[in-house]
Amino acid sequence: MKTLIDIQPWIRKEHYLFFSQFEEPFFGVTVNIDCTQAYNVSKQKGNSFFLYYLFRALKAANEIENFRYRIINKKVYLFEQINASPTINRPNGTFGFAYIDYNQDEKGFYTNALKEIERVQQSNDLMPAVSGENVIHFSAIPWIDFTALSHARSFSYPDSSPKISFGKITENNERKTMPISIHAHHGLMDGYHIGLFIEIFQKLMNELNENSINI
């Protein structure tokens, strides 16, 4: 479900009109997230750490309205829900694009995600999500402790989906950290909204989730 935004009274009208004229309207930031608690909980439960933080990143994004804005045919829409389109690594060293619905129930999210990961890993094609515009493009680069990141982009394609990438876990003084890069369309959000996402995501990662499921 999506709702058309009337941009005339919209508080982001001028920002949208200004940045939509840019060849590259995306901006990005890279920060380190403390993942000590999240990593320990996921491993104690035998869970996939990738799915553990992917679920929490998607939950955080869905709580922020600006992450649910999309531009379709030069009009702005607000989606009721956004889903994940992550890259999935294959044993042969390549990757494929997956599509995973957001589910507020973590067990349901994991169940669907595992099926989709298996499907992608058993295929050879490179097929982006066909879910419309209501996705965030996620990627994991667990081999690199990056401090900055850029994305391959087709400027002729009217893209407005945020891109979130996760890097290598490093440990210092018994604290684990992981870089996260967030790119977003500046007509739809600012650094303030990315700051909100980081704050919510970090809070979710810090929670001692006694009810996390085993997979």
Catalytic site residue from 137, 183, 185, 186: 186
Residue 124 one-letter amino acid = N
Cβ 203 vs Cβ 34: under 8 Å:
no
Which position has the token pair 């009009």?
Answer: 75
Spell out a b/e string for 135-148, using b for 16 or more CB atoms within 10 Å of the CB, else e.
bbbbbbbeeeeeee
Q: Is 186 a catalytic residue?
A: yes
- Catalytic residue numbers read 186
